[in-house]
Amino acid sequence: MNVILNPMVTEEVMMANAIRALTMDAVQKANSGHPGMPMGMADVAAVLFSRFITVDPTQHDWPDRDRLVLSAGHGSMLLYALNHLIGYPDMDMAEIRRFRQWGARTAGHPEYGHAQGIEVTTGPLGQGIATAVGMALAERMMAARFPDLTNHYTYVIAGDGCLMEGVGQEAIDLAGHLRLGKLIVLWDDNGITIDGDTKLSTTTDQIARFRASGWNTAVCDGHKPVEISRAIFDARASKRPTLIACRTVIGFGAPAKQGTHEVHGAPLGVEEVRSARAHLGWDSAPFEVPDAVYAAFGRPARRGRDARAMWEKRFAASPNREAFVAMMKADSAPLRRPMAAFKAKLIEKSPSVATRKASEMALEVVNGVLPFTIGGSADLTGSNLTRTTGMESIAANSFAGRYIHYGIREHGMAAAMNGLALHGGFRPYGGTFLAFADYCRPAIRLAALMGIPTIFVMTHDSIGLGEDGPTHQPVETLASLRAIPNLVVLRPCDAVETAEAWEIALETRDRPVLMALSRQSLPTLRSEARTNLTASGGYVLRATERRDVTLIATGSEVEIAWEAADRLAKEGIAAAIVSLPSFELFAAQPKAYRDEVLGEAPRIGVEAAIRMGWGEVLRPDDAFIGMTGFGASAPAPELYRQFGITADAVAETAHRLTGK
C-alpha cells in the first residue's frame, strides 16, 4: 500500500500517529477499551522504539533483550500496536481487529504468555512498575555473574494510578535504595484519572517523591521527540533509576475530547474518530497502515536483530556459556540425590522442629546445590528462616549475592519476586508471616494467572504462633489462598513433608507455590521417604487393618490427629490418619486414588483454621474441628485448648460419629 504522507510530518510523528490510528480503530470496533493513554503516549513510545529499545521480533525471548513493561495496562492497545508495527509474527492485523474478543491475543489488559513481546500481565495498577523492579534487579544480578552476556534496560510506561497505588511506593523505594540504574520509568503525566483531574485526589509532588527515594528525575514535553529523546538518553547514562515525567495530553489528536477524562476509558465515537483522523492528517482507511510506517518500524527491528546476533557471537565465545545456560534453565534435577540423602537422615534422627526450621534445614541442601535460587524476606529473616549459610546480601552496586532484604514491603517483595521469575536466570523465594499474605495477594494472584514459578514462604501459619494474637493468626487465610486458581498451597506436617515441599516447589515450573509453615515445633511422623508422598497432595500416613474413622489433618494438626488415634486405639476404635498437605495436588489425583485414601468410614477434618474449602474431602455428615472465628493472645497450647482443637476433642467426635 503506497499512501503519500504529509511531507511536513516527521517519521517519528508518523509512527506515533499510526499507534493512535490503530488504537482508535480497535477500540471503536470493539466498542470497548481505553484510547486515552495510547494516544497520549504514542509520541513517547515512537521515540523509545525508533531510537532506543533493543528487541528482536524474530526471537522474542532472547535473554539480553530490553524489557518493556506497560504498567498502565488499561492502555494495552499501545503495546499491541507497537508489537504489530515492529513485526512480532503473532500480532498481525487480524489480532488488532479482534481486540478484546474471545480467543484473541489482544486481551483487554496485556497477558503474559498470550502473545510475544508481553513481558508481564498488567492490569492492577502499580503491579507493573513493582514487577519491573524485580526485572531490573535480575538484570543487575545476572550482570554481576555474567558481565559479558548481560547488559539491558527495563523500561516502564506508567500512569498516575501506578504511582498512587501503595505498591508503587514500596517498589520505587526499593529500586532507589538498590540504585537500579537500568530501570527507566516513563510516566504518562497527563493530570487525568477516570474521575477527572488528578487535583481531585492528589497534590503529591511526584518528582520530589522519587528524588527522595533515591531516583534520578527528568521532565519532558511528551509530544516533542527531541525532548523525549534527550530525557531517555540522559536516563540511560544514570547510575540511579530514572523517572521521566512525560507531560502529555490524554487522547492527543482527538480534537473534542483530548485532555478530558471522557477519553480515558471509552470509544471516541465515529464522528470523533473521523475528526481525529483529519486533525492528525491520517488519510488511511481503518486498520490500514502505510508502507512507510512499517519501514520506519523495520529499522528498530533490524537494530534488535543485529544486537541479538552480536550477543550470540559473544555467547558462543564466552567461557561462561554453560553456566549461563544452567542458570537460565534452572533445572532442579541435581537436587534429587542430595535431598534423598537429607530425607533419609531426617527419618533416622526424627527431629522435633517447627516446619519453618525444617524449611531452613531443607534450604541448606537446596541452596548448596542449586546456584539459581534467590532468597529473601520482608524484614522477618530471623522468623521466616529463609537465609542459609554463606548467602551474601544484595546491596547497591553489589549484586553477586543471593539474599534480598526487601524491608517491610510485602506488596513490593511479592511483585519483585514475580519480576525475578519472569526475567529468567533465578528461582526466587521470599518470606513473611502467613497473615500478611493478604499484603502479597495481588502479586500471588498474578503469579498464578501468569503461570510463573514464584515461591512464597509463609510462616507462623495458625493460632499456634501464640501470644502475638488474632492480628497475626491467619484463621481464614489458608481457605482464601486455596481459592486462587493455579496456586499450589503446601502445609507440611513435619520435617520430611517440608523437605518434600521444597522438592515440589523447585520442580514446579508452570505455577507458583506457597508454603504455610509452623512456628511451633512438631515431631517427625513420617517413617518412609523413598517416595515424595507430599506430591500426591494427600496420603494415608497411618493405616489400620480395618477403618472405623478417618482423621484428615494438615500441618501442625496432624500431630493432634496422631495423638487422638493413639487414644482411640486403646478404646477399640481404629482411626486411620490422612495427611493432606495440599488440597490442590490431591484434587488433581485420579478419583480412584482419592477414594482409596479417604475411605468410606466417617471422616473428621482437623485444622486450626476455618472449615471453608474442606467440602472437597468432608461430606455433610462428617465433622470438622477447627476455628469458627478469630484467635486470641495467649500461649499456643492454651489457645488450642480454649478453641477445642485437641486430641480429646477429636477422640470424642470419633466416638459420636462411630457410635462406639
Burial (CB < 10 A; 0-12, 13-18, 19+), residue 394, is buried
- Is residue 4 predicted with pLDDT exceeding 60? no
Active-site position among 111, 410, 497, 503: 410
Torsion of CA 636, 639, 641, 646, to 10 degrees: -70
355-369 and 495-507 are packed helices; what angle lies between their axes, rounded to 10 degrees? 40
Predicted local confidence at residue 5, as pLDDT? 39
User: Which helix H or strand E contains 305, and what residues bound it?
Assistant: helix 291-317
- Is residue 6 predicted with pLDDT exceeding 50? no
Predicted local confidence at residue 9, as pLDDT? 59
- Is residue 213 predicted with pLDDT exceeding 70? yes
Q: DSSP E strands: which ranges in 461-601?
A: 488-490, 513-516, 521-522, 539-542, 549-553, 575-579
Percent of the chain with pLDDT over 70: 99
Half-sphere exposure of 476 (CA within 13 A, CB side): 7
C-alpha span between 527 and 540 (Å, rounded): 12
What residue has cell string 559479558? 148
| DSSP track, 474-492 | -TTHHHHHHTSTT-EEE--
Which residues have C-beta within 8 Å of that of residue 595, sequence separation ≥ 6? none
Give tens-digit pLDDT for 340-365: 999 999 999 999 999 999 999 999 99
Torsion of CA 68, 242, 410, 389, to 10 degrees: 90
DSSP β-bridge partners for residue 551: 577, 604
Residue 561 in contact with residue 577, Cβ under 8 Å? yes
Number of Cβ atoms within 10 Å of the Cβ of 274: 12
Half-sphere exposure of 543 (CA within 13 A, CB side): 6
3-class secondary-structure state, position 521: strand
What is the model's pTM? 0.97
Give tens-digit pLDDT for 145-196: 999 999 999 999 999 999 999 999 999 999 999 999 999 999 999 999 999 9
Residue 431 in contact with residue 378, Cβ under 8 Å? yes
C-alpha span between 220 and 485 (Å, rounded): 43
- Dig out the grid coordinates for 361 from the structure: 534445614
Q: Which of 95, 21, 76, 14 has its CA nearest to residue 268? A: 21
Q: What is the distance of C-alpha 628 from the center of its chain?
A: 31
Q: Which of 57, 214, 236, 51 has its CA nearest to residue 153? A: 236
DSSP state, residue 466: -
DSSP β-bridge partners for residue 443: none
Q: How many helices and strands (H and E) does the chain possess?
A: 25, 20
DSSP state, residue 404: E
**Could you tell me how many residues make up the chain?**
660
Predicted local confidence at residue 259, as pLDDT? 95
C-alpha span between 652 and 660 (Å, rounded): 10
Backbone angles phi, psi at 597, to 5 degrees: -65, -45
C-alpha span between 641 and 463 (Å, rounded): 11
C-alpha span between 593 and 609 (Å, rounded): 26
Residue 411 in contact with residue 166, Cβ under 8 Å? yes
Q: Maximum CA pair distance of the chain?
A: 95
Amino acid at position 17, single letter: N
C-alpha span between 69 and 537 (Å, rounded): 36
Give tens-digit pLDDT for 215-254: 999 999 999 999 999 999 999 999 999 999 999 999 999 9
Amino acid at position 586, single letter: F
Burial (CB < 10 A; 0-12, 13-18, 19+), residue 564, is buried
Amino acid at position 326, single letter: A
- Dig out the grid coordinates for 74 from the structure: 488499561
The sign of the dihedral angle between the CA atoms of 315, 316, 318, 324 is positive
Give tens-digit pLDDT for 214-224: 999 999 999 99
- Tell me the average pLDDT of the chain: 97
Residue 585 in contact with residue 548, Cβ under 8 Å? no
- Told to judge if 11 belongs to the known catalytic residues of this protein, a careful annotator would answer no
pLDDT-based confidence at residue 529 (cuts at 50, 70, 90): confident
Give tens-digit pLDDT for 541-573: 999 999 999 999 999 999 999 999 999 999 999
DSSP state, residue 32: -
- Dig out the grid coordinates for 465 from the structure: 504462633
- Dig out the grid coordinates for 591 from the structure: 478419583
- Is residue 2 predicted with pLDDT exceeding 50? no
Residue 543 in contact with residue 597, Cβ under 8 Å? no
Residue 487 in contact with residue 660, Cβ under 8 Å? no
Amino acid at position 576, single letter: A
Residue 392 in contact with residue 401, Cβ under 8 Å? yes
- Dig out the grid coordinates for 441 from the structure: 495477594
Give tens-digit pLDDT for 477-523: 999 999 999 999 999 999 999 999 999 999 999 999 999 999 999 99
C-alpha span between 461 and 261 (Å, rounded): 45
Give tens-digit pLDDT for 19-52: 999 999 999 999 999 999 999 999 999 999 999 9
